[in-house]
Amino acid sequence: MKKLYVNPLPVRVWHWINAFGFVLMILTGVQIRYAGQIDLFSFKTAVNLHNWIGFVLIANFFVWLGFYLFTDKIKVYHPELSPTKYFTSTFRQMQFYGYGIFRGDPNPHHVSVYRKFNPLQSMMYQIVMMILVPILFVTGVLMWDVARFSATVELLGGLRVVATIHVLLFIFFCGFIVMHVYLSSLGHTPSAHFKAMITGYEEVEEEGEGAKHA
């Protein structure tokens, strides 16, 4: 095994703030939605925590965006421009996750400093970070002060529409976090990817090492 430094300190700090923040947002969101049925916090405490943590996550998002926009690490998110190559590698990755991993097949994706995401991860993270997360934040801010943003709320179809979009995204991110944790356990050891997001170093096989273990 060799070690590659694929997770710089700003990415690791952003990741763990985001992880703990989203878990707290889910807990407080559930408390707000089911007030009177669940008593994790008082309703007022849940609302205040939800609002403050939300603004922390919005600021954290812009830290993440600024880091990638103004450093060469943006290459991590550069898409594969060849449709044939992209769909071929995506299909191979789907096969690996679908049944190859259960047969002990090697992962078709080989991590490098600027290619730490496999094709499925790259596509999903771009959709999540550039579309779904901003929508979640915008709908959250609109509901934070409905009176102030009443014109925008009405333009989008009213409070019920905005709240429904926010709740649907909440449900999506609950599932996303569970899947993210599961996929993160699929390294050469169950803890390998978690350690990489703490130390910054991903352990990868030397060229030819995979063949020796096959």
* Confidence check: pLDDT of 182 > 70: yes
Residues 30 and 43 sit within 8 Å (Cβ to Cβ): no
The pLDDT score that the predictor gives to residue 77 is 85
Mean pLDDT, rounded, for 24-41:
90
Query: Which CATH number covers residue 87?
Result: 1.20.950.20
Q: Read off the pLDDT of residues 105-136 as tens digits, 9 standing for 90 and up.
A: 988 988 988 888 998 888 899 999 999 999 99
* Confidence check: pLDDT of 209 > 80: no
Residue 83's pLDDT band, with cuts at 50, 70 and 90, is confident
The answer to whether residue 211 is domain-embedded is no
Query: What would the DSSP string read from start to end of 162-192?
Result: HHHHHHHHHHHHHHHHHHHHHHHT-SSSTTH
pTM higher than 0.75: yes
Q: Which residues make beta-bridge pairs with 2?
A: 204
The answer to whether residue 73 is domain-embedded is yes
Residue 52's pLDDT band, with cuts at 50, 70 and 90, is very high
Mean pLDDT, rounded, for 64-82:
88
CA angle 205, 191, 187 (to 5 degrees): 40
* Confidence check: pLDDT of 15 > 50: yes
b/e burial code for range 78-96 (CB count within 10 A of at least 16 → b) = eebeeeeeeeebbeebeeb
* Confidence check: pLDDT of 207 > 90: no
The answer to whether residue 214 is domain-embedded is no
The answer to whether residue 64 is domain-embedded is yes
Number of domains in the chain: 1
Mean pLDDT, rounded, for 131-145:
97
16 or 186, which is more confident: 16
210 or 67, which is more confident: 67
Alpha carbon distance 173, 133 (integer Å): 9
Structure tokens at 146: 């409905």
Domain with 106, as residue range(s), is 2-204
The pLDDT score that the predictor gives to residue 208 is 56
Residue 213: CB atoms within 10 Å:
9
Residues 1 and 209 sit within 8 Å (Cβ to Cβ): yes
The answer to whether residue 63 is domain-embedded is yes
126 in helix, strand or coil? Answer: helix
Compute the half-sphere exposure of residue 48: CA atoms within 13 Å on the CB side of its CA: 5
The answer to whether residue 209 is domain-embedded is no
